[in-house]
Amino acid sequence: MSVMTNVIPLSTEEEKITVDVSKGGKVFTKQHLNTFSSLRNIKSYPKIYGSQAPKGVSYIESTILNDTQIDDNNKYFMQLARVGVNPEKDSIEADITYNGYSLAEVPILVMETSSGNYVILEGRTRYYALRKLGVTNFIVDVFEEMTPAQALRFAVLMNSEKKPFGKSTWLDVQKAILKLIEFGEIEKIQDSVNGRETFIDSVIHEINSMSTKLTASQINLIVHKAEETVTGVKQVKSFPNGEKTTDWLEENGYIDSVETIYVPIAAMKMHTVRSIITNMKNISEKVTEVRFVVHGGVLSATNPENDWKKRVLDFDKTFREYEDAWISHRFEKGTTRKNNLVAKIYGAIPMVESLSHLYPMDRLVKYKLN
């Protein structure tokens, strides 16, 4: 499939900062490097070149490297900072192909190595887009050799900085955290309350050093996964956006029958009202009892026990002002229902392993009024 583009001719000034790379070869010249250097203000990028750069990150120079000098197949660093293919790959390739390569942007970032070659830290997608066009030399910023952990932090930070809030690929950050644990950069949990708190603080510190654009839920998910990795036990069960709640119910024997059905709902009062109304309107005439089951989504990483107790275990108390009678009788104008239909805030899904002696992880915690 061809890519439709509207190519608008560049002005004379724009041509000076845009390189036509469509014909391949050694397209970048000393003049291009000088233009790039005159346009780029290092002080505008403190997280790359200045005081806010991660520990161990030290810029050396900007230069032009031939493709033979770049180790693009380093198995250790290959996509170390990203779980999958860059989601912007196609648009980046199309932009470079049809609009040229801009000298006004941060270039490909590489790290020198003791072998004399250079490893890409940031800009791998642009590098391959240029290679695809036959380009054999590249303007790069060179950094001193780093430890694997330092290179990883820097690469993830660069990936994250280019994305808007909430759009950072949190799985990339999670992958990096698990790697840092493997490298021994994050001390594993000591068998104490203080040990767990120290571990969680360390993980959150590392997350924030690599990205300031993750949501609270994403950070909590990463911390829970880190805990599971070092302990070998899933310490907290998570249901982001309600995912996998139906699977949990079925796996633990809570299966719908003709007369009785289970409906998962989040422990959020106003959302619950809307969810209940929606679900009650779409129930089969054969159903006589609807059991609403409460989950906590993604629990707080710092105190999941308290979060689950307050939001999930005590949900029936906070929601009781609406009463089961309200659930059974209050509908939007014009809706009808069977007179014998009963609806209940039935129980809570257990989510915290440390509470399993009180609330086993394979059984619903039934609310007292049921």
Percent share of the chain, pLDDT over 70: 82
Say what the pLDDT of residue 142 is. Answer: 98
Single pTM value for the model: 0.83
* Average pLDDT for 88-106: 90
- Asked if residue 60 has pLDDT above 50, the reply is yes
Residue 332's pLDDT band, with cuts at 50, 70 and 90, is very low
344 — phi, psi (to 5°)? Answer: -135, 140
Residue 161's pLDDT band, with cuts at 50, 70 and 90, is confident
* Average pLDDT for 150-178: 82
Q: Are 118 and 110 in contact (CB under 8 A)?
A: yes
Q: Which of 13-17, 285-289, 292-296 has the highest mean pLDDT?
A: 292-296
pLDDT digits (tens, 9 = 90+) for 241-265: 999 999 999 999 999 999 999 999 9
Go through 314-336 and write b for each residue having 16 or more CB atoms within 10 A of its CB, e for each that does not: ebbeebeeeebeebbeeeeeeee
- Asked if residue 203 has pLDDT above 90, the reply is yes
- Asked if residue 275 has pLDDT above 90, the reply is no
260 CB-near residues (< 8 Å, 6+ apart): 287, 288, 289, 290, 291
CATH number belonging to domain 12-160: 3.90.1530.10
* Average pLDDT for 85-102: 86
Q: Are 249 and 307 in contact (CB under 8 A)?
A: no
- Asked if residue 16 has pLDDT above 80, the reply is no
Mean pLDDT score across all residues of the chain: 86
Residue 322's pLDDT band, with cuts at 50, 70 and 90, is low
Residue 143's pLDDT band, with cuts at 50, 70 and 90, is very high
pLDDT digits (tens, 9 = 90+) for 348-363: 999 999 999 999 999 9
